[in-house]
Amino acid sequence: MRDKDVVPEKVAWVLVRDGRVLVTRNHGVDLFYFPGGKREPGESDAETLVREIEEELRSQVDPATMTHVGTFETLREHDGRPEFRMICYTAEHAGPLLPSREVAESDWFGYGDRARVSAVDQLVFDALHASGRLD
């Protein structure tokens, strides 16, 4: 497979409470994103999520409770092929939800905040709203 055929992927944590979802914003960026990140070589989705959430929010995700929410893709305009893929999971956690390092802030968004997140995150917002989980 050629490098240009590889679709960048992110493993993301979808934490919903009281009809709102946890999002984060990195320093120097206006848009918010679901916490998570890219896999290191050889990592599973669970290993990636545990590492990323510890790095970004100082919290420990329980991999035994991970449930796949869905896989969401944005498509390239010129040929309709996948541009970016985000693999989303819910999971229980222990510890604080405190931004660290590259994360400037975290917040709890409802569906009305959809325009403040990235394009792929908007797809997740739509799915959560359609299922009645996001107000």
Query: 102 falls in which pLDDT band (50, 70, 90)?
Result: confident
Is the separation of the CB atoms in 57 and 96 below 8 Å? yes
Per the listing, tokens 């009809």 go with 19
The answer to whether the beta carbons of residues 73 and 122 sit under 8 Å apart is no
* Per-residue buried b or exposed e for 24-37, using 16+ beta carbons within 10 Å of the residue's own CB: bbbeeeeebbbbbb
Express each pLDDT in 39-51 by its tens digit. Answer: 999 999 999 999 9
Residue linked to tokens 């739509």: 126
Domains of the chain plus CATH, in order, are 7-129 (3.90.79.10)
Predicted local confidence at residue 4, as pLDDT? 64
The rounded mean pLDDT for the chain is 94
Residue 2 in this model has a pLDDT that exceeds 60: no
Average pLDDT over residues 114-120: 97
